[in-house]
Amino acid sequence: MNVNALLEEYGLSTDDVRWSLCCRLTESLMHLAETKGAEGLCQNLWSGALGDELYDMEERWHRDRDDRLSRAVLDEGHLRDELSQMTLDKIKRSER
């Protein structure tokens, strides 16, 4: 089983993956703002870390999961859990 087959099984597109990753990133930024304040968030933005994380994030996610799955470093069940969360994010997005 590879990532493309699983994405197809779950009915997820690249755009759905991108949306879900953006949801996780937003949660992370909100947590950063809560714990480090505006200065910590500003440091993250200024450093370019956010831009680096955003650049081709869905493609990097796909390559990483495919690589880890093929090397048996990632359990298919864990990936299915992640895809289930992405499916929930897709449903929430369509309800807006």
Q: Identify whether 64 is part of a domain.
A: yes
Q: Identify whether 31 is part of a domain.
A: yes
Q: Identify whether 96 is part of a domain.
A: no
Angle (CA) 36-41-42 rounded to 5° is 125
Q: Identify whether 30 is part of a domain.
A: yes
- Per the listing, tokens 């992370």 go with 28
Q: Which long-range contacts (CB under 8 A, 24 or more apart) does 25-29 make?
A: 25/50, 25/53, 25/54, 25/57
Distance, in Å, from the CA atom of 96 to the CA atom of 89, rounded to the nearest integer, reads: 11
Low-confidence ranges of the chain (pLDDT < 70): none
Cβ atoms 58, 18 nearer than 8 A:
yes
Q: Identify whether 20 is part of a domain.
A: yes
Q: Domain tally for the chain?
A: 1
Domain of residue 82, residue span: 3-91
Q: Tens of pLDDT along 60-82?
A: 999 999 999 999 999 999 999 99
- Whole-model pTM: value is 0.89
